[in-house]
Amino acid sequence: MLWNGFAIKRVAKDKKVSLASLATQIGVSRQTVNDWINGQIPKGNHLLALCRLLREKPEAFFKENEAVSISVPAHRKRKSAKMNPEMRRQSLQMAKEYDLLFKGAQQSEVVPVIRVTERTMENAVRIANSLRFQLGLSADRVIDLRHLLELLDLLGIFLIFRKFPNSIKSYAFYSKIYGHRVVFVNTDTNLLDLFFPLLHEAIHATRDEVDNHEEYEEEEEEFCDNTASFIQFPENYVENVHDTIKDLPIEKQIEKLKAFSQKYQHSLYGLVKRIKGQFPDFEISEKLICKIDTLGRKQIPSLSARLFSSTDPRDFVDAMFKASPKFMKLVSAQADSLTDRKLGELLGLASGLDAREVRAFIEKKLRLDKGELANAYNM
């Protein structure tokens, strides 16, 4: 919201209260009231007095920010869950909790933008290969968690880990907050399910030239799907898996697929979809694959179990700096203006951690990093 001082004049006139009398009754000078009218936000106790005196809600003296500062475009839903207004409202609500943090981020930086002339499969492959190349991934290697997090950092994405309320039936969603690319990730997400949605949202975020305040068109969704899929499963890997299983009986195929899934921690559904795309003659029951994925999830931990299971604040801070360095740097830079509770809220702290202790370790880490930097430059 923005302060709208001119409303004082209008409301006072409506209520037949002169500005001089208003100033006297609030206990400020006439000049102070003029300053408010001209754009200075009153102190809290004066605003409260103003509301009481003019019998108005505070909103009467503010206006909505015309420029959209936070956008939460309609995002990919989980399985068969339908996107609904409540889900959207909750996502926006979550993004709004970060409003002031990003508003206060005085960061100018160079970030890459994915620009394509046509949203074709060939271009999706080209973009995927280019990004994989920047990560130094060989053509037959599946992307792992470390490279995934590195990619998000490279694309200028702030990664925020939160436990989503039940109404947000999504693994991840993208939001643009004061021009910053932010991807929210549900910490309950199983690692098997994490890669694809995260890559998908990352591609959305990096398609900066697409108007995405409301909903993406189907073609854009499909392009992001394809690019994400090619980043996760490069053609050589898909070919390798296909060659390994193609002539085997179904039981052996399943066994081999399970082994690939376990080794590289990815779901089979996405992989099989890619194999079918690359080798149209290949056949396997999707229902069966979904069943195997369900069983696989039981053996692979959720994101919170993998990254944030420790109740030691030191471990939490270390894990966060590794998983989301951009976001942690931003939080650290503003830590002195956040209350302990707000810090806990922004970091999505589980009740097993005390925000005050986490703050102490963030400060300690910053001091250490500064010290290391100073030593490196002999300062």
Partner 1 sequence: MRTICDTGSIMMLVRIAPDMFTDSRFGCATIPEVREEIFQTQRFKSKYPWRTQYKKNIVPLSTTEMQSAEFVQSFDVIISLLSAGIINGRTSKFFNLSHVDQKVAAGTIANNCRVSTVDKELADFLSQEFSTKNVSPLGLLNIWLQERLLTWNQEMHLFLQDWSTCNEPAQPKKDVWEFEKNTNHPYEGP
Give the residues lining the site for partner 1 (CB under 8 A).
1-3, 41, 43-45, 47-48, 51-52, 57-59, 61-62, 99-101, 103-104, 311, 334, 336-342, 344-345, 350-354, 356-357, 360
**Rg of the chain over CA atoms, in angstroms?**
26
Judge contact between 192 and 297, C-beta under 8 A.
yes
Helix (H) or strand (E) holding 134: helix 121-134
Nearest distance from residue 31's CB to partner 1, in Å? 20
CA–centroid distance for 339 within its chain: 22
Nearest distance from residue 317's CB to partner 1, in Å? 14
CA–centroid distance for 192 within its chain: 18
Whichever of 44 and 249 has its CB closer to partner 1, that residue is 44
- Complete DSSP assignment for 80-105: TPPP-HHHHHHHHHHHHTTHHHHHT-
Residue 373 φ then ψ, to 5°: -65, -45
Judge contact between 307 and 323, C-beta under 8 A.
yes
Report DSSP state, residue 190: B
Whichever of 64 and 218 has its CB closer to partner 1, that residue is 64
Nearest distance from residue 237's CB to partner 1, in Å? 42
- Within 10 Å of residue 282's Cβ, how many Cβ atoms? 14
Strand order in the sheet with 70-71: 70-71, 172-177, 180-186, 157-162
Judge contact between 334 and 104, C-beta under 8 A.
yes
Whichever of 140 and 312 has its CB closer to partner 1, that residue is 312
Whichever of 111 and 360 has its CB closer to partner 1, that residue is 360
Nearest distance from residue 356's CB to partner 1, in Å? 7
Nearest distance from residue 308's CB to partner 1, in Å? 13
Sign of CA dihedral 50, 56, 58, 61: negative
Nearest distance from residue 339's CB to partner 1, in Å? 5
Nearest distance from residue 364's CB to partner 1, in Å? 13
Whichever of 221 and 357 has its CB closer to partner 1, that residue is 357
Whichever of 168 and 245 has its CB closer to partner 1, that residue is 168
| Rounded Cα distance, 184 and 101, in Å | 15
| Rounded Cα distance, 237 and 342, in Å | 44
Whichever of 59 and 219 has its CB closer to partner 1, that residue is 59
Nearest distance from residue 221's CB to partner 1, in Å? 32
Whichever of 285 and 337 has its CB closer to partner 1, that residue is 337
